Each structure stands twice: as structure tokens, then as C-alpha cells.
């Protein structure tokens, strides 16, 4: 719903996930704008909010 409403959505990438199930489903369903490694997500959120 958030993606459909225009929100930016970020999923953690497979390489940095312990279990990739939930991010993978979001990607498969087309509900993700960006896939990123966990250490980069906070900086990206801050960049988007600036």
C-alpha cells in the first residue's frame, strides 16, 4: 500500500540478510524502489529526508 501511494520503499539485499524471505517477497511483488545492503539503508533514509 505504501509503495502504491508513492512512498519510497527500501528492501535489505540478500547478501546482508540472515533470512531473505520477507525482502524477497516485497521485491517479487514489485513493491520496492531500492534494494540495498543493511549498512547503507540508514544513510539513504537520511538522504531522502534532507
The count of structural domains within the chain is 1
Any domain includes 26: yes
Any domain includes 30: yes
Any domain includes 1: no
pTM for the model stands at 0.85
Q: What is the pLDDT of residues 6-43, one digit of tens each?
A: 899 999 999 999 999 999 999 999 999 999 999 999 99
Closest to 22 in 3D by CA, of 7, 5, 10, 6: 10
Any domain includes 3: no
Structural domain boundaries enclosing 21: 10-49
Phi-psi region of 7 (alpha: psi -120 to 50; beta: other; left: phi over 0): beta
Amino acid at each position: 500500500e505504501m509503495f502504491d501511494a508513492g512512498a519510497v520503499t527500501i528492501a535489505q539485499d540478500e547478501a546482508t540478510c540472515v533470512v531473505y524471505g520477507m525482502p524477497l517477497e516485497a521485491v517479487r511483488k514489485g513493491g520496492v524502489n531500492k534494494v540495498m545492503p543493511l549498512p547503507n539503508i540508514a544513510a539513504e533514509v537520511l538522504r531522502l529526508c534532507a
